[in-house]
């Protein structure tokens, strides 16, 4: 088994070498100028470079996942996400040494993440979400998502602001509003990390629903809080009037309910469309995927919560579409969704390791430690308070809230 | 039924209107400068515009296909490809009137076509190609693909060159080599048109295999001829030596056999990889697609025939992969391939209509008429000669060789 794995890694390295060779080759040809004799074959890597790099990443991700699952001892000891991050670190190190890292295709920017990597994962989660338990626990989920996230943001923001007045962070200045902007960014539970962690450790259904539901809904809260504090910081602390706070509170409802509404509208339109596809069954999975993606893009376009939109779109479609489409289309849709979300998750974790190496950070130990500590402390306090308040379940573990920081 | 269709079209128009509205909205916001008050919701279309346009095109294509199939009378009278081209013409006209056509996402350039639209169609054809009849008829296919295409190119090139000396083309000058470059471009049978036409009119299996096989293999011939004449034209007519012709003939073997070799290598590697995927069945369809696409990209990169590579990759994989992967993966792969090739074909035909409206042509009636006529005449002559030579089937209709010009 181990032999196979090393073989896989060997092939990957070979691929990278060939890749590098072609890069050089192509520069060499460009220097030649006008061809004097007819070439039997020629290299043009520029033509396909971006697509080629992306395809290679997808292949690397799938092969890595296949390789990890071949060795039982490896997957028993470490969770898959850690292994993928480690692989990303190794590849990042290799690229850094070989100076290929400057090429643009090798970094994960936020646009790629939000436009391509995130939607399939959330759609899959929404599509396979058990609807009954979700609505049964809606009260608890809302309480946790809204009140607890607000509580966390305020507490973490205040803590960082408090420590910023002591010399522990060195001489970096922080003002109050940037503390709150940062707190809003990190106090939300990340749905990707929740899904990855909870699927791996197999928690009970109810706990999964509650925490995952919370992580979905507090996307809206954190989007609003972030935009609110960011906008406040731009307007300036001294120019704020009461009206701004009212508008901020109002915009929370717009963002969350708008996202839900857009999701439901696209879901219903998708159901309506699939009523007429009996003659073209082969297009049905595509139509479902395209509508869900449009729901997400539309929400992002009007700045309401795209995560909520695509979740609710998936939930509505799952409920009604499967009666309209052929059995084969249904099976294909589910399989494709699982496939896409699986590979996107793999790529996200791999790139997380990769960008740790290739990005330029200014490291501030005190700041990072205080942040992680205050996240953990206030998360525990918040959960303890609100879990007792909701008073309806036995146990709630900490999620990796600091996964994406 | 007709009511439904008009409803679908209404929705599409509405979509376009909303699209246009957002474009305006976004410009309006950009002019505002720094925000003075907190916005409850904001539009940022720039952020998602490209992806949004592509997704809308896919949706438009699927809905159009669904709509056409709803009305039996429509699909009885016209072939689907004609309807799609007409829709493209209408949308193109609308975009032209509303002056949205200047935006870059609305034109089909050759990169998009060769990198994204063509591979799925060819892969699907290769994957579902009946292997036995293909190899049974290999001799005929090779004869048609190589000798007939050469014959066509030379004859058409000479005809155009001959007419270029008469005043029929007006005062546009042509030299001999550009005539041959153009002849090489148009004398190949286009596989997409062959597939679309033959699937619609349901010819017998053997005829399908022969013509489709020819259209695949003469891709290599036309690539080589085009590159050879193009390169010759650059070197200059007076500088050509015998060595160039020998290298040209040699490069035909490199391009075609190289493509086949790359396809087979990637196919075998894919088979080998799927041996180890029993624990991660959900990734299997992805791995198959990625390997096939890599075969295509690699061939394009080293300038050998990507069409041949992806065809042979599909043929090899179909033969051996299905034993390695789970039943569900196999079904999903086939369904996804059909889905992708179907939507890509739709988009190609739609864009063909669209770019007729939006591009700027210099129209030369004499030239176009002579070209189409000489294509038809020499195609018939060539087929008559070589079909009698091969002497093994009953009938061979004309394909739309001028579909893509």
How far does the CA of residue A101 sit from the closest CA of chain B (Å)? 21
Residue B326, burial from CB neighbour count under 10 angstroms (0-12, 13-18, 19+) = middle
Asked whether residue A148 is assigned to any structural domain, the reply reads yes
Q: Tell me which DSSP letter residue A276 carries.
A: T
CATH number for the domain that contains residue B307: 1.20.1530.20
Q: String of b and e for A35-57 (b: at least 16 CB within 10 Å)?
A: eeebebebbebebbbebbbebbb
Residue-range definition of the domain harbouring residue B122:
116-390
Shared domain check, B233 and B146: yes
- Residues A199 and A337 placed together within one structural domain of the fold: yes
Taking the C-alpha atoms of residue A59 and residue B273, their distance in angstroms, rounded to an integer, is 11
User: Which residue has better confidence, A191 or B393?
Assistant: A191
Which of A107, A129, A154 terminates a domain? The answer is A107
- Do B43 and B23 belong to one domain? yes
> Do A46 and A123 lie in a common domain?
no
Let me know whether A88 and A155 are in one domain: no
Interface test with A, best of B58, B339, B342, B345 (most A CBs within 10 A): B339
CB A78 within 8 A of CB A130: no
pLDDT (0 to 100) of residue B18: 42
Q: Are A155 and A95 contained in the same domain?
A: no
Residue B152 lies in a domain: yes
pLDDT of residue B108: 57
Contact at CB, A339 and B283, closer than 8 angstroms: yes
CA distance A355 to chain B (A): 22
CB pairs under 8 A between A and B: 214
Do B317 and B349 lie in one domain? The reply is yes
What's the CA gap between B150 and A66, in Å, rounded? 47
* B144 and B244 share one domain: yes
Domain boundary among A68, A84, A107: A107
Q: What share of chain A is helix, strand, coil (3-state, %, to 5)?
A: 80, 0, 20
Q: Does A326 touch chain B (CB under 8 A)?
A: no
Q: Are B41 and A298 in contact (CB under 8 A)?
A: no
Q: How confident is residue A202, by pLDDT bands cut at 50, 70 and 90?
A: low
Asked which of B52, B78, B107 is the last residue of a domain, the reply is B107
Measured in degrees and rounded to the nearest 5, phi and psi for residue B232 equal -60, -45
Is A404 contained in some domain?
no
Q: Is B243 on the interface with A (CB under 8 A)?
A: yes
> What confidence score (pLDDT) does residue B175 get?
65
Confidence of residue A76 (pLDDT cuts 50, 70, 90): low
Would you place residue B264 in the very low, low, confident or very high pLDDT band (cuts 50, 70, 90)?
very high
Q: List, for residues B150-188, the tens digit of each pLDDT value.
A: 777 777 777 777 776 666 555 555 666 667 766 766 666
- Asked if B256 contacts B223 with a C-beta cutoff of 8 angstroms, the reply is no
Residue A225 and residue A82 in one domain: no
Regarding whether B48 and B27 lie in a shared domain, the answer is yes
In a domain, B405, yes or no: no
Q: What is the DSSP string of B284-334?
A: HHHHHHHHHHHHHHHHHHTTS-HHHHHHHHHHHHHHHHHHHS-HHHHHHHH
For residue range A19-51, list pLDDT tens digits in order.
443 433 333 333 333 444 455 545 555 666 777
Q: Residues A92, A98, A102, CA angle at the centre, nearest 5°?
A: 70
Question: Do A384 and A262 lie in a common domain?
Answer: yes
The reply to whether B338 falls in a domain is: yes
A positions 33-52 inside 8 Å of B (CB): 34-45, 47-48, 51-52
Q: Are B258 and B291 in contact (CB under 8 A)?
A: no
User: Is A217 part of any domain?
Assistant: yes
Indicate whether A398 belongs to any domain.
no
The whole-chain average pLDDT of chain B stands at 70
Chain A residues in contact with B301 by the CB 8 A cut-off are: 22, 43-45, 47-48, 52
Within-domain flag for A318: yes
Same domain, B82 and B212: no
Write the ipTM: 0.71
Domain count, chain A: 2
Q: Write down the residue that tokens 């990042």 correspond to.
A: A92
pLDDT tens-place string over residues B17-45? 444 434 333 333 333 334 444 555 455 55
Burial of residue A140, with CB atoms counted within 10 A of its CB: 0-12 exposed, 13-18 middle, 19 or more buried: buried
């Amino acid at each position: 088994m181990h032999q196979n794995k090393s073989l896989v890694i060997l092939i990957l390295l070979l691929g990278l070498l060939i890749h590098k060779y072609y890069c050089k080759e192509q520069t060499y040809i460009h220097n030649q100028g006008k061809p004097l004799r007819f070439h039997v074959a020629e290299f043009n890597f520029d033509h396909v470079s971006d697509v080629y790099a992306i395809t290679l990443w997808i292949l690397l991700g799938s092969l890595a996942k296949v390789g990890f699952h071949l060795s039982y001892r490896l997957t028993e000891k470490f969770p898959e996400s850690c292994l993928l991050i480690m692989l990303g670190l190794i590849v990042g190190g290799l690229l850094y040494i070989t100076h290929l890292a400057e090429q643009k295709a090798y970094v994960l920017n936020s646009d790629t993440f939000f436009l391509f990597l995130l939607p399939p994962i959330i759609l899959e989660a929404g599509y396979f979400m058990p609807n009954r338990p979700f609505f049964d626990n809606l009260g608890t989920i809302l309480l946790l998502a809204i009140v607890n996230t607000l509580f966390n943001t305020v507490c973490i923001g205040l803590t960082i602001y408090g420590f910023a007045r002591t010399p522990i962070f060195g001489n970096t200045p922080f003002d109050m509003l940037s503390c709150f902007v940062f707190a809003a960014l990190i106090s939300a539970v990340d749905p990707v990390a929740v899904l990855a962690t909870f699927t791996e450790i197999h928690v009970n259904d109810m706990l999964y629903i509650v925490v995952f539901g919370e992580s979905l809904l507090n996307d809206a809260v954190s989007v609003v809080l972030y935009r609110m504090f960011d906008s406040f910081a731009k307007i300036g602390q001294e120019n704020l009037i009461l009206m701004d706070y009212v508008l901020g509170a109002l915009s929370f409802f717009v963002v969350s309910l708008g996202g839900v509404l857009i999701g439901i509208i696209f879901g219903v339109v998708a159901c309506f469309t699939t009523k007429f596809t009996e003659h073209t069954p082969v297009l049905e999975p595509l139509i479902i995927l395209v509508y869900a993606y449009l729901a997400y893009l539309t929400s992002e376009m009007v700045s309401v919560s795209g995560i909520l939109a695509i979740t609710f779109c998936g939930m509505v479609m799952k409920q009604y579409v499967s009666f309209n489409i052929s059995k084969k289309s249904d099976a294909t849709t589910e399989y494709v969704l699982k496939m896409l979300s699986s590979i996107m998750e793999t790529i996200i974790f791999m790139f997380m390791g990769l960008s740790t190496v290739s990005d330029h950070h200014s490291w501030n130990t005190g700041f990072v430690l205080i942040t992680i500590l205050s996240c953990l402390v206030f998360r525990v306090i918040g959960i303890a308070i609100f879990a007792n308040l909701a008073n309806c379940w036995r146990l709630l573990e900490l999620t990796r809230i600091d996964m994406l920081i």
